[in-house]
Chain A
Amino acid sequence: MRAPVLHTPLKPIAPLPAWARQGPISELRLGALLAHVQPAACGGAPSGVWRQRLAMRAALAHLRLEGRSEDEPTLRDHWYLRREGDDPGPAGNILKAWRSELTIDPERLAQLLALPREGVADLLDRADEAGSTRGTPYDPAIALAFQAQAKGRDWRGFSMWLADRVMARRLGWPGAVSILALNLPRNAFRVSAYEDFYAAALPALIHGTLEAVVLYDDLVRRGEKLALGAQKMRSKDTRATIYKLLSEDAVMAEAGAQTSDRAARRMLTGLADLGLIRELSGRASFRLWGI
């Protein structure tokens, strides 16, 4: 008898009610969406790849605010073609910040984001405080983002990062889900009144959460297809590879516990030929696969 290809069954989330998918901008709608995304945010497959794809999108938005021009494939290369001890460069470091755990050393974070250490530490402290207050999850998140971005241009990306962290804390999620940055327009940072910032951040959170829900649904579907199709694969590391594909944005053909890198490459190419995964870099060498 063969072990199932998945370590744990995929965790789909319930379909969204129509009024949450489309409707007026309101706190109620955001609340409904956040409640909806809760199971995805609380772990299980495919929330690893989901979190990382969202972090990628947020990092790209952050890079654009910084006036940098890296695109997704480039950033993915910077990240995955590293070896132990390699510095991923300024853009890769920003991605690293977005992918980081909920608790992060201020010194480390300040380095990644190229911001002064004291300001970063201070805002992280305030995020800790805001994360443990009572009340809605988004109010303290937006308020802290507003305070952070008021420190100057360089703090804009970090302010969005902070908001997501405060929300995750408030909602008791094990890791941050990158939401605010996905849809926050650049001109949200040109306002001076908190009300105006809030008015820009609220729809951004709604659309960001919606985007996250849609992405998660899509990943669950792909994951199901992959698990079904992979049952036919006879490679020894099938389970490990599927697990990796469901927890990582991209996977390289590397030697596994029981197989060589060639076998891994054969398997990934096979999965891609079956249309179960995609090659993300568009290259014929140093390929990166993902669901």
Chain B
Amino acid sequence: MAGSTKSANAAPALLDRELEDLPQALRWREWMRRIEAVLFSASAPMTRETLAQLVGREAIVDLLIEDIAADISDRPYEIRRTGGGWQMVTRKPYADIIAALHARPETKRALTQGESLILAAVAYMQPITRAAISQMTGREISRETMARLHQAGLIARGPRSPDPGAPYTYVTTQAFLEHYGFESLRDLPDLEALMDAGLLVSPDLPGVDLGVAAMPIAPEKG
């Protein structure tokens, strides 16, 4: 019997995971479809554990994903590894197409250049206070701007700073990594390498249009 569509997190008690009655090739195919279906419908990355609940005990999720990836290699979407697991996303060139369709940028408002600049400052210098970001970016960052980024889940509260008044610092979140398609903060472009390559003057960095380019790297002196 076919199982009804269930949320991936529900106990898979009613789900036939092993599919013993199918020949090996068909079982594999079915497992791939299950994973693809779940990834297709999910709005957040799916972890290996979640996906493993859908398939037989000896099935290797990584290999299934690889096979799916190969299947959809010519489609305008792909399966991307992000911090928490896998997520189905449209391929980069089609992002603009989709954006063009929805005359408004997106339901989630796109980040302004200023906000991207703040995020870059936080990403590289975290934990960092609002005052320190203002100093780094050379413009006064308002409380409201930080609150907006906080509300969007892109930054979180870090330890307090020992500066007078013990202001909060900010750190980036998992959502920040997902937003930019990073697996971890190590994927941030190496600023020194970019400078060495003379890329920091160029306004659009490959992969990251964070506005990093405009960011002063370190105070010139003192």
Give A contacts to B, CB under 8 Å: 66-67, 77-83, 85-90, 92, 114-118, 154, 281, 283, 285-286
Contacts and interface: CB of A to CB of B under 8 A. Distances in A.
Contact of A83 (B126, B160, B185): B160
Contacts of B161: 77, 81
Contacts of B157: 85-87
B159 A79 contact: yes
A154 B48 contact: no
B175 to A, nearest CB: 13
Nearest to B85: A117
B169 interface: yes
20 contacts: A66-B186, A78-B158, A81-B160, A81-B161, A82-B158, A82-B159, A83-B159, A83-B160, A85-B157, A87-B157, A88-B159, A89-B127, A89-B158, A90-B185, A92-B127, A114-B186, A116-B183, A117-B48, A281-B162, A286-B162
Nearest to A77: B162
Which are the 4 A-B pairs with shortest beta-carbon distances?
Answer: A114-B184, A89-B127, A286-B162, A82-B159
Contacts of A67: 190
B171 interface: yes
Interface of B: 47-48, 126-127, 156-162, 164, 166, 169, 171, 173, 183-186, 190
A175 to B, nearest CB: 24
A92 B128 CA distance: 13
B197 to A, nearest CB: 17
B47 A86 contact: no
Contacts of B173: 87
B171 A89 contact: yes
Given A78-B127, A82-B160, A90-B126, A154 B184 contact: yes
B166 A154 contact: no
A218 to B, nearest CB: 27
A32 B213 CA distance: 55
A83 B127 CA distance: 14
A18 B112 CA distance: 65
A23 to B, nearest CB: 40
A89 B127 CA distance: 6
B158 A115 contact: no
B164 A285 contact: yes
Contacts of A283: 162
B158 A88 contact: yes
A154 B185 CA distance: 11
Contacts of B169: 89
Nearest to B62: A118
Contacts of A81: 159-162, 166
Given A77-B159, A78-B159, 10 more contacts: A77-B161, A77-B162, A79-B159, A86-B158, A86-B159, A86-B160, A87-B157, A88-B127, A90-B185, A283-B162
Contacts of B164: 285
A86 B126 CA distance: 13
B125 to A, nearest CB: 10
Contacts of A286: 160, 162, 166
A88 to B, nearest CB: 6
A116 B183 CA distance: 8
Given A89-B171, A90-B185, A92-B127, A117 B158 contact: no
B38 to A, nearest CB: 18
A285 B164 CA distance: 8
A90 B128 CA distance: 12
Given A87-B171, A89-B126, A90-B126, A115 B160 contact: no
